[in-house]
């Protein structure tokens, strides 16, 4: 028999190629397993991917897994080499992935073994099943803090969109530039026209996506990301993906950002009976905002949440424009992301550009956005109704500069560069105080 040659990285987050998929599917045991799973393409793809990664980690082919398990059971040994490798693999996954993703990976392997009539004893591998825990929904402050501590323009843009649009990870991992409506750059609330496969064609309670909109903050983040791609020489077409493919990438970014924010002590760690903040948490955060908004009919709420949308006629241009108005005037304020037109904020945003301009070194191009992002977030945290510009700048400078410097130092900026920034900051603060 041809040797098993599928060799992805053990913890790869990329999607399987057609060649790698064919390599797995040449085994009869795998094909029989796929028949048992059913026709849902997403489940089949995820299960195949995780089985492949486990095979590479364990150094076994799919048939070898079943043979080893069968021999152990005949010898009266409930725990075989398969379970031993699975325990080690799960431990490695838990260092990188969120609990729902680890549970999915574990379930995929367990499902394959069970497809041949063998079971993996649950007592041998105890996972903290998130289904038994309460979902944690972030507050507005926690969402802002996670945005602040996301590293990289791509990741920050993803989380920004997720804080304003309640689509599932499958949408963000497949999102194309051509899905954004024409003229999206100039709008205060832009519509994302999802392909029909994400929308219902018949009445029913199937899983489908909401009528998707994003606010000004997401639009500005997308503009910066597009400029970043173009500066790198990347060709942008309507079919170009905005983010890397794969729902796992989306979930990992959320989980890593949560862990980073917890380490920095800007959000609390989840309680033992509580899930970590996940992609689903962001979705629920927006749902709560939609529920909190007043004077919206149940029908409109249903469209904004992706519930009982009925049929294609609900996506008419007339309905979309009505939803845009509701989203902009009622939902965005409920999420804490409405556009603020205060002159002090415009002045602060202009100051951000000054801060970016003093960082000229291309090797820290992404740090420019990271550094300035604190001050963008600060307008929400520190802006008070009766503030003078002087009071605002003083608070932002005194309470923010040390934490921002610490973050930049951990990301590779030298002490000399930090001193230049602090010097420039003090000069700006002094000038503002004199005005």
What pLDDT does 390 receive? 54
CA distance 380 to 378: 5
Q: What is the pLDDT of residue 207?
A: 61
Q: How confident is the model at residue 13 (pLDDT cuts 50, 70, 90)?
A: very low
pLDDT of residue 414: 65
Question: For 133-183, how does the pLDDT look when each residue is reduced to its tens digit (9 = 90+)?
Answer: 788 999 988 998 898 888 889 999 999 999 999 999 989 999 999 999 999
What is the pLDDT at residue 344?
A: 47
pLDDT (tens digit per residue) in 342-395 = 454 455 555 555 555 544 444 344 444 444 444 444 444 444 555 555 555 555
Q: Which residues contact 357 (CB under 8 A, 6 or more apart)?
A: none
| Beta partners for residue 180, in sequence order | 192
Residues 6+ apart with CB under 8 A from 196: 312
Return the pLDDT at 404. Answer: 58
Least confident of 220-234, 251-265, 281-295, 390-404: 390-404
pLDDT, tens only, 59-69: 888 888 988 88
Percent of the chain with pLDDT over 90: 23
pLDDT over 80 (residue 1): no
Q: What are the structural domains of the chain?
A: 18-128 (no CATH), 140-335 (1.10.443), 343-434 (no CATH)
Tell me what pLDDT residue 189 has.
93
Q: Is the pLDDT of residue 234 over 70?
A: yes
Mean of pLDDT over the chain: 76
Burial string for 82-112 (b: 16+ CB within 10 Å, else e) reads: bbebbeebbeebeeebbbbbbbbbbbbbbbb
Of 333, 349, 329, the closest CA to residue 389 belongs to 349
Q: Is the pLDDT of residue 30 over 60?
A: yes
pLDDT value of residue 2: 42
Judged against a pLDDT cut of 50, whether residue 235 lies above it is answered with yes
Angle at 296 between CA 294 and CA 302, to 5 degrees: 125
Res 279: pLDDT: 92
**For 36-55, what is each residue's pLDDT tens digit?**
776 677 778 888 888 888 88
pTM summary value: 0.57
pLDDT value for 8: 40
Helix axes 81-93, 41-58, angle to 10 degrees: 110
| Dist CA 171 CA 198 (whole Å) | 8
**Which phi and psi angles does 35 have, rounded to 5°?**
-65, -40
């Amino acid at each position: 028999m041809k040797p098993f040659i599928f060799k992805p990285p053990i913890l790869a987050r990329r999607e399987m190629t057609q060649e790698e998929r064919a390599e797995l599917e040449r085994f009869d045991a795998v094909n029989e397993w796929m028949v048992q799973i059913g026709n849902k393409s997403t489940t089949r793809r995820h299960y195949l991917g995780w089985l492949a990664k486990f095979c590479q980690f364990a150094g076994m082919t799919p048939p070898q897994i079943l043979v080893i398990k069968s021999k152990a059971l005949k010898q009266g040994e409930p725990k075989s080499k398969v379970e031993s490798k699975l325990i080690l693999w799960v431990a490695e996954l838990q260092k990188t992935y969120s609990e729902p993703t680890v549970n999915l990976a574990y379930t995929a392997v367990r499902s394959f073994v069970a497809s041949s009539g063998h079971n993996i004893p649950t007592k041998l591998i105890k996972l903290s099943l998130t289904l038994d825990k309460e979902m944690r929904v972030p507050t507005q402050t926690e969402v802002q803090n996670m945005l602040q501590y996301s590293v990289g323009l791509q990741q920050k843009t993803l989380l920004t969109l997720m804080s304003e649009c309640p689509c599932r990870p499958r949408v963000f991992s497949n999102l194309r530039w051509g899905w954004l409506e024409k003229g999206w750059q100039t709008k205060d609330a832009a519509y994302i026209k999802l392909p029909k496969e994400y929308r219902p064609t018949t009445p029913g309670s199937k899983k489908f996506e909401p009528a998707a909109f994003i606010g000004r903050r997401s639009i500005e983040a997308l503009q910066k990301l597009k400029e970043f791609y173009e500066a790198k020489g990347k060709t942008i077409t309507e079919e170009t993906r905005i983010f890397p493919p794969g729902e796992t990438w989306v979930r990992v970014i959320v989980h890593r950002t949560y862990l980073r924010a917890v380490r920095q002590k800007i959000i609390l760690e989840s309680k033992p009976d509580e899930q970590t903040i996940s992609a689903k948490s962001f979705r629920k955060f927006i749902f709560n905002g939609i529920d909190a908004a007043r004077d919206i009919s149940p029908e409109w709420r249903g469209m904004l949440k992706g519930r009982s949308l009925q049929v294609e006629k609900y996506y008419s241009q007339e309905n979309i424009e009505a939803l845009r108005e509701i989203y902009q005037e009622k939902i965005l304020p409920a999420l804490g992301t409405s556009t603020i037109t205060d002159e002090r904020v415009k002045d602060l945003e202009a100051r951000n550009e000054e801060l970016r301009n003093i960082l000229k070194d291309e090797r820290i191009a992404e740090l420019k956005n990271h550094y300035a992002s604190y001050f963008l977030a600060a307008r929400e945290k520190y802006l008070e109704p009766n503030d003078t510009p002087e009071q605002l700048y003083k608070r932002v400078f005194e309470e923010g500069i040390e934490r921002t410097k610490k973050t930049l130092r951990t990301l590779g900026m030298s002490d000399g560069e930090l001193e230049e920034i602090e010097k420039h900051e003090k000069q700006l603060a002094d000038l503002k105080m004199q005005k």
